[in-house]
Amino acid sequence: MSRIEKIPRDNWAPELVAAFGNQEATELELGLTRMLAHKPQAAAALLRFRAALGLSRELPSRLVELVRLRIAFHNQCRSCMAIRYNDESGQSLDEGVVCSLEKPMEAPNLGDEERAALAYADLFATDHLAINDSTYADLRRYFTEAQIVELGLICAFCVGVGRLGATWDMVEELPKDYQDHGERVAPWHAKAVETHG
């Protein structure tokens, strides 16, 4: 059972309903927003921030989804790992690509720019003070300054919100692979729930 009470969408404050949008969503897709609904203004601002990152995105959707899933693994945010977000064309990551996240530096189906972004995300999620001039020099081989800032904001959002989600323990709606509390789970070893977004 989740540690924070979920507020049903029908009981959300109008500003949160407006920020979330009118799209149909499953309970899992409503996700943490149901808990964030206890603080509707902050929740709406967080949703607008996430939307702004998506609207002005310069980084490829595939790279962003790879980074999100890798950070979800480090956070052990099970609801984050269980969901796959579709790109602009409506396609989600191929599960073979998701499996490459187990050892991204060795994966032949990842590009050098994806490996650089994942190395940065790994450090951001596990040892942020180890990020140094060399890390940024490596990123600059593939990304503009604006893209590096975007990558940093995406990592900050995923690490922060993912860790919060992990502490709230919202697992009861997840596939069984993600419900076991006895061991670490990974998106490359468990069945995903597809979603739009």
Q: Closest Cα to residue 158, out of 60, 73, 92?
A: 73
pLDDT digits (tens, 9 = 90+) for 85-124: 888 777 778 888 999 999 999 999 999 999 999 999 999 9
pLDDT digits (tens, 9 = 90+) for 43-90: 999 999 999 998 889 999 999 999 999 999 999 999 899 888 888 777
Q: Closest Cα to residue 169, out of 79, 72, 70?
A: 79
Is the model's pLDDT at 195 over the cut of 70? no
Taken in order of first residue, the domains within the chain and their CATH numbers are 1-56 (no CATH), 60-195 (1.20.1290.10)
Whether 42 and 36 have beta carbons less than 8 Å apart is answered as yes
- Per-residue confidence (pLDDT) for residue 24, from 0 to 100: 85
Q: Closest Cα to residue 79, out of 122, 126, 31?
A: 31
- Per-residue confidence (pLDDT) for residue 12, from 0 to 100: 98
Q: How confident is the model at residue 179 (pLDDT cuts 50, 70, 90)?
A: confident
- Per-residue confidence (pLDDT) for residue 186, from 0 to 100: 87
Q: How confident is the model at residue 185 (pLDDT cuts 50, 70, 90)?
A: confident
Percent of the chain with pLDDT strictly greater than 90:
71
Measured CA angle at 133 (ends 106, 113), to 5 deg: 35
Q: What DSSP line would sit under 129-184, residue for residue?
A: GG--HHHHHHHHTT--HHHHHHHHHHHHHHHHHHHHHHHHT--TTS-GGGT--SS-
- Per-residue confidence (pLDDT) for residue 146, from 0 to 100: 98
